[in-house]
Structures are given as structure tokens and as C-alpha cells.
């Protein structure tokens, strides 16, 4: 049978602003991000030496976590490149790994890269986003421009709901490619939770709330958000406990199948991490948008209150109903589906969590 004609329209033929830009005629030298001595590959603490990029440890299995965690662990949410260069153009080249092409999340967020740049000593500014087309595997794209050829610090955020098989950074021949400046917060901040933590449904990687936060306080991000699959497993708590962190934020409320499951796992999860790190700042959050019955929120608050009652001064609790602000602030405009934040929702989450994170870092001497 003859194929049905597609009703889709190539919008780039109508509006050139939607066209995927080419690389142009630059003489480029490429450096493999995985094996570079000057490009810092951050947020992927358990990165394998070969194969697809990965953000989970090799000790994870479908039995001690879940099949979902094993699949989503190959998505690079929270991963980032950091480096300095005076090249007039920054180009990415490589292959994308398996990902999710979802109806309610832009492909630029799920499978794209974006970049931030600062002229040394200046503020960090958004630069460009690579927006892959459907089913694209090989890519070569401009991710930043620096026509004045000043020495700049670069951050390139990796896909939220997509994988990376290979990744190279290209700079113009004769330009410098240098190691990044040290972070102000010396240790990473780790986030554990649900699809919201993984970044669903930000329009681009830099817009999820955890990326906003880590740029603002200048810290490495480790993201262990697993869409529908972060359920407070002991193996995950033990993996987190094995790391040296500046702070730990967790909110897997949405993924706990029942309030009973949340009650059975939330405090034990915290205790595993706390036993290994008695002074680590831990921020606990309930689901966003709020659980109207407040049953789940009370469970999470109890973990916090029990720790505080024992003299723990490094625990913090954020009520989920506050994360988007009040209804008077168009709270219903903060999600794409009543659950997953859009960019407005993530920005409001960032603004709500930021003062708590700053206080936690200050009180613990991390900043």
C-alpha cells in the first residue's frame, strides 16, 4: 500500500528562525570530552570508560533498583561540560544515545544541549541550544559564539531525557582550550527524586530547577532524578552515602506508589545517608504540586522533625505547596499537565529552594 502523505509542515521553510543552524566554514580541532585533561565532565560520577554515557553506578541492577532506573540511568540529566576558551565558535560533535521523544516536552530539553558563557570576571549568560530533529543520532552543531575572541568560561548542559554515546568539543585552530576555574562550592550538590527532578518538562536542560540552583551558587550538580522510578531504594541511598557532597536535596514523593511505601522508605533512606555524613545539609521536599490530603507531606515532615528532635541542625524541610508560589501568582500556569513543571514552574521552584540551599551551605560551612 502506498504511504499516507504526512500532514506535517517543515516550519523552517516558512520561518527561517526555526531552522537548525549549520556549523559554517571554521577550521576546527576537536577534543573528546570523556578523555580530555582540560574539559571537566561533571555530574556523571560513575561514568564508564567506554560506551554510552551513564549517571548511575555499576552496582545498580533491576533487582536492587528497578528496570526504569536502569534505562533512565543512561539519560544524562545533570551532566555538564566546563572549560575555558577564547575560540570564536564552540562546536559539539558526536552521537546521541537512546532517548525519549515525548508529546509534552520539547525535544530541545529531552535530547538537546545548551550552553552558558561568561567573560572571565563577568556574569554567566545563556548562549545557545542545540535542538536535534526527530530520530537524529549524529550531530555537529554550534553551541556558542565569541566573536571578540575573549577568554570565556563555558558550561554545556547535557540532555535531560536522552543519552550521549560520544561527545567532542570543537574550537577554532590556534585557540586555547583550558581547564575551568574551580567552583565556589567545592563539593557537588546531589538531587534525588522523580521525573520533576530529572527535568521533565523543561524546554532546555539549563532551565530545570536544579541547574538554576547550581549555576547560582556555583556548584557541580549530580542529578539522580528517575522518571516514575525513584522509590527510595536502599541501593540508591547507599550510593549517595558513598559520595562526598556539599548538600543533598531529595523529593521522591511522586514516585512512591502509596503513602505507606513513602512512610516505610523515607526515614530509613535519610538515616543511611546521615549515618555516613553526620553534618551533610539535607533538604527534604514534599511533592509539587501539593498533595491535597497532606498525608504524604506529614510523612516527610516527620522525618525532618525526628532528626531535628535528636539535635540534627543540618536538616531542612520545604512544603511542596509553596514551590510554585500562591494561586494568586498564576500557580496553574506552572505545569504542562498539572504535574510536570514548565520553565515558569521550574523557575519558581528555584526561587523557593535557593534561600534554603544558601542557608544550608552557609550553616554547614560549605560556602
pLDDT digits (tens, 9 = 90+) for 225-236: 999 999 999 999
| Cα–Cα dist 3/67, whole Å | 36
Tens digit of each residue's pLDDT (9 = 90 or more) over 246-300: 999 999 999 999 999 999 999 999 999 999 999 999 999 999 876 677 899 999 9
Q: How confident is the model at residue 101 (pLDDT cuts 50, 70, 90)?
A: confident
What is the average per-residue pLDDT within 141-152?
Answer: 95
Look at residue 19 in the predicted model and tell me its pLDDT: 47
Q: What is the mean pLDDT of the chain?
A: 92
**Number of domains the chain contains:** 2
> 160 and 241 share a domain?
no
> 146 and 206 share a domain?
no
DSSP letters along 146-187, please?
A: -TT---EEEEEEPPSSEEEEEEEEEEETT--EEPPPPPSS-S
Last residue of a domain, one of 130, 145, 178: 178
Q: How confident is the model at residue 18 (pLDDT cuts 50, 70, 90)?
A: very low
C-alpha cell at 113: 544541549
DSSP letters along 91-111, please?
A: EEEEEEEEE---TTS-HHHHT
Owning domain of residue 351:
189-363
Q: How confident is the model at residue 309 (pLDDT cuts 50, 70, 90)?
A: very high
Put simply, whether the predicted model's pTM sits higher than 0.85 gets the answer yes
Sequence length of the chain is 367
Which CATH number belongs to the domain containing residue 133 in this structure? 2.60.120.260
10: exposed, middle or buried (C-beta count within 10 Å: 0-12, 13-18, 19+)? exposed
Judged by average pLDDT, the poorest of 50-54, 286-290, 346-350 is: 286-290
Which CATH number belongs to the domain containing residue 285 in this structure? 3.40.50.1110
> 200 and 91 share a domain?
no
Look at residue 290 in the predicted model and tell me its pLDDT: 67
> 25 and 171 share a domain?
yes
> 171 and 37 share a domain?
yes
| Cα–Cα dist 86/136, whole Å | 30
> 61 and 130 share a domain?
yes
Look at residue 11 in the predicted model and tell me its pLDDT: 44
Look at residue 330 in the predicted model and tell me its pLDDT: 85
Residue 7 lies in a domain: no
Is the predicted pLDDT of residue 9 greater than 60, yes or no? Answer: no
Amino acid at each position: 500500500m502506498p504511504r499516507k502523505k504526512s500532514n506535517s509542515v517543515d516550519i523552517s521553510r516558512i520561518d527561517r528562525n526555526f531552522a537548525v543552524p549549520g556549523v559554517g566554514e571554521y577550521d576546527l580541532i576537536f577534543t573528546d570530552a570523556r578523555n580530555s585533561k582540560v574539559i571537566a565532565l561533571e555530574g556523571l560520577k560513575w561514568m564508564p570508560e567506554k560506551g554510552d554515557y551513564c549517571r548511575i553506578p555499576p552496582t545498580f541492577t533491576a533487582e536492587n533498583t528497578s528496570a526504569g532506573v536502569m534505562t533512565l540511568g543512561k539519560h544524562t540529566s545533570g551532566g555538564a561540560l566546563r572549560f575555558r576558551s577564547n575560540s570564536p565558535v564552540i562546536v559539539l560533535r558526536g552521537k546521541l544515545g537512546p532517548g525519549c521523544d515525548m508529546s509534552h516536552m520539547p525535544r530541545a530539553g529531552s535530547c538537546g544541549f545548551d550552553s552558558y558563557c561568561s567573560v572571565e570576571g563577568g556574569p554567566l549568560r545563556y548562549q545557545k541550544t542545540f535542538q536535534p530533529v526527530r530520530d537524529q543520532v549524529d550531530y555537529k552543531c554550534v553551541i556558542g559564539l565569541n566573536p571578540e575572541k575573549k577568554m570565556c568560561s563555558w558550561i554545556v548542559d547535557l540532555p535531560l531525557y536522552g543519552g550521549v554515546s560520544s561527545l567532542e568539543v570543537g574550537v577554532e585552530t590556534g585557540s586555547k582550550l583550558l581547564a575551568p576555574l574551580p567552583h565556589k562550592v567545592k563539593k557537588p550538590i546531589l538531587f534525588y527524586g522523580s521525573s520533576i527532578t530529572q527535568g521533565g518538562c523543561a524546554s532546555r536542560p539549563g532551565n530545570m530547577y536544579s541547574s538554576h540552583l547550581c549555576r547560582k551558587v556555583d556548584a557541580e550538580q549530580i542529578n539522580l532524578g528517575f522518571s516514575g522510578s525513584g522509590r527510595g531504594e536502599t541501593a540508591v541511598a547507599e550510593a549517595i552515602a558513598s559520595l562526598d557532597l556539599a548538600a543533598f536535596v531529595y523529593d521522591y514523593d511522586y514516585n512512591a506508589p502509596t503513602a505507606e511505601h513513602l512512610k516505610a522508605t523515607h526515614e530509613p533512606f535519610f538515616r543511611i545517608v546521615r549515618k555516613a555524613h553526620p553534618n551533610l545539609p539535607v533538604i527534604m521536599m514534599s511533592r509539587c504540586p501539593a498533595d491535597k490530603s497532606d498525608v504524604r507531606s506529614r510523612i516527610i515532615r516527620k522525618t525532618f522533625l525526628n532528626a531535628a528532635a535528636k539535635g540534627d541542625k543540618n536538616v531542612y524541610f520545604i512544603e511542596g505547596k509553596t514551590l510554585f508560589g500562591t494561586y494568586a501568582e498564576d500557580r496553574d500556569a506552572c505545569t504542562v499537565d498539572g504535574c510536570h513543571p514548565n520553565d515558569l514552574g521550574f523557575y519558581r521552584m528555584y526561587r523557593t529552594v535557593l534561600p534554603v540551599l544558601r542557608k544550608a551551605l552557609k550553616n554547614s560551612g560549605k560556602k
